[in-house]
A = this chain, B = another copy of it.
């Protein structure tokens, strides 16, 4: 009934925007959602995190404690955050990230998100949209229709085709692994 997602990486990877897009897509699906990011000693350490809570019910407790879905696009972020994940959680890391000590009960995906953005699409700035496509296809947490609308609401005009391609590539990375 309540799903917690944490999106981690470095500043400038567009993870706050990714969180806002997931939260707006959840609203379009008829759910409640909360998106947040905190800034403090952690942020000063170079790792950035954005969080989303999606629920059918009103969200009383607005804090992510044990994410059901955790994305880490960088080694620093993964080292810092990967221990905090639900036992049956889904951990998605970029293929450039080395892992150790992941709970056996966690479902793990190691995916070329950054490379797909920079080499297949040709714009590393859309790595966040590739990640949104991957997470959407793997988890079904938001509908594709809603995530596409939410993306269009939030990206600069003139970048629609680019972002659509990035999203499709994210879907395809997931389809290939399912």
Contact = CB atoms under 8 A, between A and B. Distances in A.
B62 A39 contact: no
Interface residues of A, number: 23
A40 interface: yes
A118 to B, nearest CB: 19
Interface stretch (A24-32, A93-101, A102-110): A24-32
B36 A40 contact: no
Interface in A1-45: 16, 20, 23-24, 26-27, 32-41, 43-44
A16 B35 CA distance: 10
A156 interface: yes
Copies in the complex: 2
B38 A33 contact: yes
Nearest to A44: B27
A63 interface: yes
B39 A34 contact: yes
Contacts of A16: 20
Contact of A34 (B26, B33, B37): B37
Nearest to A11: B153
5 contacts: A23-B37, A34-B38, A38-B62, A40-B58, A62-B62
Contacts of A43: 27
